Structure 1
Amino acid sequence: MTGPDPSPGLVGIVLVSHSAPVAESVAELARGLAAGGPLAPVAAAGGTAGGLGTSAERIVAAAREVDRGAGVALLVDLGSSVLTVKALLLEDELPPDSRLVDAPFVEGAVAAVVAASSGLPLSAVASAATEAYAYRKA
């Protein structure tokens, strides 16, 4: 996590990708577009020590890093990141009120960080991210 210390009590956001640079870049974009007031805590959990892949340890560490008691929204890119987060939720490895959010990775991340930075609860943050599926580009 970079930048000023995020405000307490905001929903935390974890961005899980098979690629560390992708997760970090999307986190940077979302933070930049949500800037201007209190900023929700955002952490990237990308790749593995060996490069591409999904690391349960990185996901758990990122979720704990952003947990401020208001819940944690986890957005994932594809495949094993989805399965890993589902397994961590089933095994109660993530902070209380953690939720896997079905949303497009980039647009959903931006919507989630903006919503969370506005102080919205986890259910509204998840809805904002999910609604990003409806963004029309043409």
Structure 2
Amino acid sequence: MSKKPVGIVIVSHIPEIAAGLATLLKEAAKDVSITYAGGTDDGEVGTSFDKMNAAIAENEADDLFAFYDLGSAKMNLEMAMEMSDKYIRLMDTAFVESAYTAAALIQADAELEEILKQLEPLKVK
């Protein structure tokens, strides 16, 4: 089966959190392209612009939801978004809950408007 037209990018300051959340989402959304960037280039706590660019580029979808854990991840994501030709929605929502909700809804072929409606109560900023 081919991947869904909408994908998800996960960004965390901790490599294991990014990888773990991606694993969780893939259990609920086997047909959704899910990529992630975690930690710095040295594997330390922090974020990496290059890792984010790679996660965006490697995602099979051209329409993406991007979820992040903390503020500096958002800043790097905003820069990476400017470098990409993909359409990326930067989600200021509860990290785990909203990423899981989006993945499950994309898997179920929910309309974009319904996904955004379901994520609205999870906004944190």
Q: Give the TM-score, by structure 1 length.
A: 0.76
- Separation in structure 2 between the aligned mates of residue 114 and residue 68 of structure 1, nearest angstrom: 16
Deviation at 1:49, TM superposition (A): 2.2
Question: What letter is aligned with 1:14?
Answer: V
Aligned to 2:57: 64
- Separation in structure 1 between the aligned mates of residue 72 and residue 114 of structure 2, nearest angstrom: 26
Question: What letter is aligned with 1:87?
Answer: M
- Separation in structure 2 between the aligned mates of residue 132 and residue 118 of structure 1, nearest angstrom: 19
Deviation at 1:121, TM superposition (A): 5.0
Tell me if structure 1 keeps the 8 A contact 2:3–2:60: no
Deviation at 1:64, TM superposition (A): 1.5
1:80 to 72, 76, 92: 72
Unaligned runs of 5+ in 1: 1-5
Deviation at 1:122, TM superposition (A): 4.8
Tell me if structure 1 keeps the 8 A contact 2:40–2:46: yes
2:105 to 108, 115, 132: 115
- Separation in structure 1 between the aligned mates of residue 73 and residue 89 of structure 2, nearest angstrom: 14
- 1:95-106 paired onto structure 2 within 5 Å: 95-106=85-96
The change in CA–CA distance for 1:102 and 1:119 in structure 2 (over 3 A counts) is: same
RMSD: 2.2
State, as a whole percentage, how many aligned pairs show the same letter: 29
Unaligned runs of 5+ in 2: none
Tell me if structure 2 keeps the 8 A contact 1:47–1:54: yes
The change in CA–CA distance for 1:103 and 1:61 in structure 2 (over 3 A counts) is: same
The change in CA–CA distance for 1:85 and 1:10 in structure 2 (over 3 A counts) is: same
- Separation in structure 2 between the aligned mates of residue 123 and residue 93 of structure 1, nearest angstrom: 26
Q: Give the TM-score, by structure 2 length.
A: 0.83
- Separation in structure 1 between the aligned mates of residue 21 and residue 36 of structure 2, nearest angstrom: 8
Deviation at 1:119, TM superposition (A): 2.6
Residue 98 of structure 1 aligns to a residue whose secondary structure is: strand
Number of paired residues? 123
1:53 to 39, 46, 49: 46
- Separation in structure 2 between the aligned mates of residue 102 and residue 126 of structure 1, nearest angstrom: 12
Aligned to 1:18: 13
